[in-house]
């Protein structure tokens, strides 16, 4: 994977794990839609954003779609950081529990 794309994935995940960003997902998206699990919805929202954004970055910077290997690497980054993502979601969700 291009270093620029890998760096974007890591930076974007860091941005999305900020309390204010997760709070915005919760307040603007999750709480307004019927979901079975707010945590799972937020996790899916983050993963979907990273996947779509990665493809957009590849097209914008490299004028091509991502290769299978690049997709695998993006998923490996997400997999490596899954516990961090879920832990952060639990922390922020705990702040909004009644």
pLDDT digits (tens, 9 = 90+) for 54-95: 998 888 887 888 889 989 999 999 999 999 999 999 988 887
Q: Given this model, what pLDDT does residue 58 score?
A: 85
Q: Please report, for residues 16, 55, 58, 62, 98, the alpha-carbon distance to residue 48 in angstroms, rounded to integers and kept in the order given.
A: 12, 11, 16, 21, 28
Alpha-carbon Rg for the chain, nearest whole angstrom, is 14
Measure the CA–CA gap between 5 and 70, rounded to whole angstroms: 9
- The pTM of the full predicted model, rounded to 2 decimals, is 0.81
């Amino acid at each position: 994977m291009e270093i620029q794309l890998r760096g974007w994935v890591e930076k974007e995940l860091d941005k999305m794990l900020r309390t204010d960003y997760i709070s915005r997902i919760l307040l603007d998206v999750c709480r307004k839609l019927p979901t079975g699990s707010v945590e799972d919805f937020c996790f899916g929202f983050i993963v979907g954003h990273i996947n779509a954004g990665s493809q957009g970055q590849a097209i914008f910077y490299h004028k091509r779609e991502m290769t299978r290997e690049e997709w695998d690497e993006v998923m490996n980054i997400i997999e490596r950081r899954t516990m961090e993502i879920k832990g952060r979601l639990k922390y922020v969700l705990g702040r909004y529990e009644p």
